[in-house]
């Protein structure tokens, strides 16, 4: 039986701590942090995640403005909106929910968000700072994963970690954070030759590939720590599921994260943390 790390519980605890911290801000700084989330289109997954971000903001006491735009919005109009928010002194964090419609360049959108307000940690200057070991905003999902590992008492140092997935949002930055914790990291992907041989070597396995039941029991070694970053719909049941065949893998794992209730809630929790961080950087500069 594996230890199941509840991201839901851990994030609830951390949000309570942040709530107490934010409650001291009006007296100290005259206001609370303000996060603006932009959602383009109606994708049900994105709508659900953005709603989760607004709910978490409410719990923590952060001001949240969610701006919804139709998927027909032009790239120029979206970039213009971001510029306005950049210039608005009362806005501390800006997040544009991804993915965006094909006619809008995600790269352009991310680069347009002021680095100081980039609560996602996606801006090229933030990414460069991360890889150069400089002060930066850590991307939410990778940051949440490291917090979960630490909370479960998993020693990362000296371990063989395998990350399946090489996206800018998860695979690459989580690999870098594991490396910084002194794990030895292998980055694998859907084209990796003989993937099961690679993953069976993992003491820590992070899966961010976006395919239901991609990781089967034969790919996991006895006692491995398994972190499931996937959020998919099970094609048979229609229910939310991860990238890991949970029922088959859980008995082999020493530690595992569930979907739902694992990495997802931690992503949102770290977004709250990053918003407070951007707010405090700005306020402390002004003092
Ligand atoms: N800009 N785009 C930007 N920033 C992000 O950090 C994200 N991401 C990813 C997609 N696009 C983004 C998210 O917010 C994925 N993601 C995300 C956030 C939260 C959850 C899942 C993905 C989450 O809360 N998942 C719940 C279930 C939610 C449901 O019922 O639909 C869970 O328990 O896993």
Task: For residue 134, indicate whether it is catalytic.
Answer: no
Number of domains in the chain: 2
CATH number assigned to the domain comprising residue 90: 3.40.50.10860
Task: For residue 120, indicate whether it is catalytic.
Answer: yes
CATH number assigned to the domain comprising residue 198: 3.40.50.720
* Tens of pLDDT, residues 253-262: 999 999 999 9
Q: Where does the pLDDT of residue 286 fall: very low under 50, low under 70, confident under 90, or very high at 90 and above? A: confident
Task: Report which of 253, 205, 201, 198 is spatially closest to residue 228, judged by C-alpha positions.
Answer: 205
From first CA to last CA, the distance across the chain in angstroms is 52
Answer whether residue 1 shows pLDDT above 90: no
pLDDT > 90: percent of the chain: 97
Ligand 1 binding pocket, CB closer than 6 Å: 48-49, 52, 95-98, 120, 140, 231, 240, 259-261, 264-265, 267-268
Domain boundary among 80, 114, 148: 114
The answer to whether residues 153 and 106 belong to one domain is no
String of DSSP letters for 94-128: EEEPSP--TTS-HHHHHHHS-GGGBTTS-SHHHHH
The answer to whether residues 219 and 150 belong to one domain is yes
pTM over 0.95: yes
Q: What is the pLDDT of residue 145?
A: 98
The answer to whether residues 64 and 108 belong to one domain is yes
Contacts of 273 (CB under 8 A, 6+ apart): 14, 18, 143
The answer to whether residues 58 and 144 belong to one domain is no
The answer to whether residues 151 and 253 belong to one domain is yes
Task: For residue 53, indicate whether it is catalytic.
Answer: yes
Give residue 277's Cα distance to chain centre.
16
pLDDT > 70: percent of the chain: 100
Nearest CA to ligand 1 atom 13: 49
Mean pLDDT (the chain) is 97
Kindly state the helix (H) or strand (E) to which residue 207 belongs, with its residue range.
strand 204-207
* Tens of pLDDT, residues 233-274: 998 999 999 999 999 999 999 999 999 999 999 999 999 999
Here the tokens at position 43 are 């994708």
Here the tokens at position 217 are 């029991």
Q: What is the pLDDT of residue 230?
A: 97
Ligand 1 atom closest to 50 (CA) = 14
The answer to whether residues 168 and 237 belong to one domain is yes
Answer whether residue 82 shows pLDDT above 90: yes
Residue 162's region, left for phi above 0, alpha for psi from -120 to 50, else beta, is beta
Q: Ligand 1 center to residue 30 CA distance, Å?
A: 31
The answer to whether residues 171 and 249 belong to one domain is yes
Mean of pLDDT values over 12-29: 98
* Tens of pLDDT, residues 155-202: 999 999 999 999 999 999 999 999 999 999 999 999 999 999 999 999
Residue 186, domain extent: 140-264
Give residue 152's Cα distance to chain centre.
18
Nearest CA to ligand 1 atom 14: 49
Q: Has residue 187 been placed in a domain?
A: yes
Ligand 1 atom closest to 7 (CA) = 33
């Amino acid at each position: 039986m594996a230890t199941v790390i509840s991201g839901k519980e851990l994030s609830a605890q951390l949000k309570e701590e942040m709530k107490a911290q934010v409650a001291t801000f009006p007296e100290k700084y005259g206001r609370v942090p303000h996060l603006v989330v932009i959602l383009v289109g109606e994708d049900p997954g994105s709508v659900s995640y953005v709603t989760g971000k607004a709910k978490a903001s409410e719990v923590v006491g952060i001001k949240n403005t969610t701006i919804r735009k139709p998927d027909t919005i032009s790239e120029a109009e979206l970039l213009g909106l971001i510029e306005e928010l950049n210039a608005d002194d009362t806005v501390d964090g800006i997040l544009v929910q991804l993915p965006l419609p094909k006619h809008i360049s995600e790269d352009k959108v991310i680069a347009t968000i002021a680095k100081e307000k980039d609560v996602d940690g996606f801006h090229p200057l933030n990414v460069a700072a991360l890889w150069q070991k400089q002060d930066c905003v850590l991307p939410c999902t990778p940051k949440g994963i490291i917090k979960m590992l630490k909370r479960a008492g998993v020693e990362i140092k000296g371990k063989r970690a395998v990350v399946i997935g090489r996206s800018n949002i998860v695979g690459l930055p989580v690999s870098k954070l594991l490396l910084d914790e002194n794990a030895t990291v292998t980055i694998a992907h859907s084209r990796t030759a003989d993937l099961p041989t690679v993953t069976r070597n993992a003491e820590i396995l992070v899966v961010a590939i976006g395919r239901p039941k991609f990781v089967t029991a034969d790919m996991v070694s006895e006692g491995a720590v398994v972190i499931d970053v996937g959020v998919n719909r099970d094609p048979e049941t229609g229910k939310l599921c991860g990238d890991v065949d949970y029922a088959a893998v859980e008995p082999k794992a020493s530690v595992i994260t569930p979907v739902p209730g694992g990495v997802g809630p931690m992503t949102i929790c770290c977004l709250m943390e990053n918003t407070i961080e951007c707010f405090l950087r700005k306020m402390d500069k002004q003092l």
